[in-house]
A and B are shown apart, each in its own frame.
Chain A
Amino acid sequence: MQKTISFPHMGNYNVPIENMLRHIFAGHKIMTAPNITKRTLELGSKHSPDFVCVPFKYNLGNYIEALESGANVLIQAGGGCRYGYYAEVQEQILRDLGYKFEFVKLMSGKVNPVDLYRVSKRIGTPLSFGRFLYFVLLAIDMVKKLDELEAYIRENVGFEVVEGSLERLHAELLERLKRVDCFKELRAVYKTYGEKIRGVEINKPDDCLKVGIVGELYTLMEPFSNFFLERELAKSRIQVSRFITVTYLLFEKSRMKKKTLKSAGRYLKYELGADGTDSVEKSKTLAEKGYDGMIHVKPFGCIPEINAMPVLQNISRDYKMPILYFSFDSQTSETGIKTRLEAFIDMITMRKEKGV
């Protein structure tokens, strides 16, 4: 029987994930959940516990819309703070709603290639272990290359001589990546687009405003959930730096743990849980580099990031660097966010002019 496999959204990572699943489950249908809209969030909130963090609600909305469009295999990962427990509760909620589906849980700490292969075999991959591993590695490489190019775009978008050229190339790149079938092709695409993207003429003054974004991973990486914060900043010609990417979380974070804590210096003795420590360390590092401000984003009630906030307040005071705190929930008003962001941008602009 042909299955329809679906998974929730996060930023642009649906591209490498869909690519990987398409290769692994040849013969089955792969369907990225329908794009996130207001309806997604409404559906998700309606069936979610009241004060669960908002990524849960987005994920659940994605699942419901995917099921409505015919999906019958859903994938959820997990790990860290509350995220590790999403899967079980979401499955229960969807079953109570009467949907029929297969739920695949990939829990952190238990994910290794052999287990992944076993799970994939159960869903129905025709591939040998070698070929399977090949496409997993291909997807990982794609994530790394995508993260690298996106980091460059993030720091330069808004400063192009021809407005919108980076965004256009970015969209083209994502489309092209969807069709990549092997490492050779991936390298070629990376080279071509890398050159094109770095070749875009940039007019960035050395003393442009620089802002770092830290916080919880989902609200950082899924633009819909933060009201396209990065795009808004780019429009105001502000250089944006963000460090939390899937590459960082999967391949660098655990290796850097001790270093991160040490670099947080006198502000921390212990780790704060999930990405709280990173938020603190990055804010401190960027403050030392002379950034003009930081923006801290999180879903309402995100415990690790709330843990980081008293520390961030101290960093803000000690280095005289303003920090703007955003908390996102299903009830957050877009106007409220925009107004606060505008005021923040005005403030750091004026500080810069006065040379504070």
Chain B
Amino acid sequence: MTVGIPRAMLYYRYGVLWETFLKELGCDVITSGETNRKTLRDGVNFSIDESCLASKIFMGHVYSLIGRCDYILIPRVVSYGTNNSVCTKFNAIYDIVKNTFDNVKILDYNIDAKNGKREAGSFIRMGKTLGSSLPKAFFAYKKAKRTQQLSEKQRFETQQMELDGCRGLKILVVSHPYNTYDRLVGYPIAEYIRRLGGLPVYADITDRKQSIAKSKELSESLYWIYNKELIGSIKLLENKVDGIILLTAFPCGPDSLVNELIMRKSKKVPTINIVLDELQGEAGLQTRIESFMDIIRERANIA
């Protein structure tokens, strides 16, 4: 059995977990390719025009997988506990895909910890759908979870090492991983920073628990867990970086408010807010990053 994984949205958070789990159960896994112009164009065609850039890209990836696999993996997430919920896009993405494409078979699982639907249980249920026994699914999940944690730990340590060893400008990129690592969205920005002699530091690579606790310093009532992790990361790293780039996909609901609050409350480090949509030109973006880094250098010279 072949399961397709769209390289978009939660893939950048759970990719390792999914792949390990499915492979443990004996499935073949194919992941859609890096986002390109065609993925985006298809995504736009199959989306309501007001949807956010990230979800349009997601639809493009789903489309590219249709016909190439038996199932497409699409998780549904609501909450990880009280006051730790996610954007409603993740509540609905399963039904959006189901209602957009007629000929698609979806493998889904549901996380709504506030209402008792936890990750482990959901994965075991998903394993059963794929025809495996309960213990087999359980151990596959355990192994997948360990592999995922290990890879997160590794990335965290690598970033810490790079941070300590870097003499150039360190720029913190604050954005959801599906923006940060997308070939069309965040990847070019990291490249510009590198080309200009800087080091991109990623806010999503962080100790999540610590980050969430720290986020209280910036915002009391925030309840989107992904945004909590990001703004906590700002607090944890603000003494180690020289500049902050807030990167948003238009018109992201949570970011529209959270980034406004960051711009108003976090004043220690120079910050710019970049909003990307599907009409983005490269030259404009490059110019903004260049001038931002120039300004930071000049400030350092004057001081």
Which A residues contact B (CB, under 8 angstroms)? 49-53, 56, 78, 81-82, 84-89, 92-93, 96, 105, 107, 109, 267-274, 276, 300-301, 303-304, 306-311, 313-314, 327
Most chain A Cβ neighbours within 10 Å, of B51, B76, B98, B257:
B257
Task: Pick from B92, B261, B275: contact of A307, CB below 8 A.
Answer: B92
Inter-chain contact B259/A49, CB cutoff 8 Å: yes
Inter-chain contact B256/A52, CB cutoff 8 Å: yes
Inter-chain contact B92/A52, CB cutoff 8 Å: no
Inter-chain contact A85/B221, CB cutoff 8 Å: yes
User: How far is it, in angstroms, between the C-alpha of A303 and the C-alpha of B264 when the chains are bound?
Assistant: 24
Cβ of A278 to closest chain B Cβ, rounded Å? 13
User: How far is it, in angstroms, between the C-alpha of A306 and the C-alpha of B251 when the chains are bound?
Assistant: 12
Which B residues contact A (CB, under 8 angstroms)? 48, 50-52, 76, 78, 82, 87-89, 91-92, 94-96, 98-100, 108, 110, 219-224, 250-251, 253-254, 256-261, 264-265, 275
Could you list 13 further interchain pairs (A-B, Cβ under 8 angstroms) beyond the known A52-B256, A81-B253, A313-B99? Answer: A50-B275, A53-B256, A82-B254, A82-B257, A85-B257, A89-B257, A93-B264, A268-B95, A269-B94, A276-B88, A304-B92, A306-B50, A327-B50
User: How far is it, in angstroms, between the C-alpha of A93 and the C-alpha of B264 when the chains are bound?
Assistant: 8
Q: Which residues of B contact A306 (CB under 8 A)?
A: 48, 50-51
CB-nearest residue of chain A to B258? A85
Inter-chain contact A272/B257, CB cutoff 8 Å: no
User: How far is it, in angstroms, between the C-alpha of A28 and the C-alpha of B251 when the chains are bound?
Assistant: 41
User: How far is it, in angstroms, between the C-alpha of A310 and the C-alpha of B261 when the chains are bound?
Assistant: 32
Inter-chain contact B250/A92, CB cutoff 8 Å: no
User: How far is it, in angstroms, between the C-alpha of A49 and the C-alpha of B275 when the chains are bound?
Assistant: 12
Inter-chain contact A51/B91, CB cutoff 8 Å: no
CB-nearest residue of chain B to A80? B88
Given A92-B264, A96-B264, A270-B110, the answer on whether A307 and B91 have CB atoms closer than 8 Å is yes
Most chain A Cβ neighbours within 10 Å, of B82, B222, B264:
B264
CB-nearest residue of chain B to A315? B99
Given A49-B260, A50-B256, A310-B48, the answer on whether A88 and B94 have CB atoms closer than 8 Å is no
Q: Which residues of A contact B223 (CB under 8 A)?
A: 84-85
CB-nearest residue of chain A to B248? A51
User: How far is it, in angstroms, between the C-alpha of A272 and the C-alpha of B143 when the chains are bound?
Assistant: 32
Inter-chain contact A273/B50, CB cutoff 8 Å: no
Q: Which residues of B contact A84 (CB under 8 A)?
A: 221, 223
Please provide the 10 A-B residue pairs with the shortest distance between their CB atoms, ordered closest to farther. A273-B88, A307-B92, A49-B260, A301-B251, A51-B251, A273-B91, A272-B92, A310-B99, A52-B256, A309-B48
Inter-chain contact B264/A82, CB cutoff 8 Å: no
Q: Pick 27 A–B contacts, CB within 8 A, sort by A.
A: A49-B256, A51-B250, A51-B275, A52-B260, A53-B253, A56-B257, A81-B88, A81-B253, A84-B221, A85-B257, A85-B258, A86-B257, A87-B221, A96-B264, A109-B82, A269-B98, A269-B108, A270-B92, A270-B94, A270-B110, A272-B92, A272-B95, A300-B251, A303-B52, A303-B89, A304-B88, A310-B100
CB-nearest residue of chain A to B114? A109
Inter-chain contact B88/A301, CB cutoff 8 Å: no
User: How far is it, in angstroms, between the C-alpha of A110 and the C-alpha of B87 when the chains are bound?
Assistant: 20
CB-nearest residue of chain B to A105? B221
Q: Which residues of B contact A311 (CB under 8 A)?
A: 95-96, 99
Inter-chain contact B264/A307, CB cutoff 8 Å: no
Most chain A Cβ neighbours within 10 Å, of B76, B89, B100, B221:
B221
CB-nearest residue of chain A to B106? A269
Given A49-B259, A81-B253, A82-B256, the answer on whether A303 and B87 have CB atoms closer than 8 Å is yes
Q: Which residues of A contact B253 (CB under 8 A)?
A: 53, 81-82, 301, 303
Q: Which residues of B contact A81 (CB under 8 A)?
A: 88, 253
CB-nearest residue of chain B to A311? B99
Cβ of A51 to closest chain B Cβ, rounded Å? 4
User: How far is it, in angstroms, between the C-alpha of A308 and the C-alpha of B264 when the chains are bound?
Assistant: 33
User: How far is it, in angstroms, between the C-alpha of A300 and the C-alpha of B76 when the chains are bound?
Assistant: 24
CB-nearest residue of chain B to A313? B99
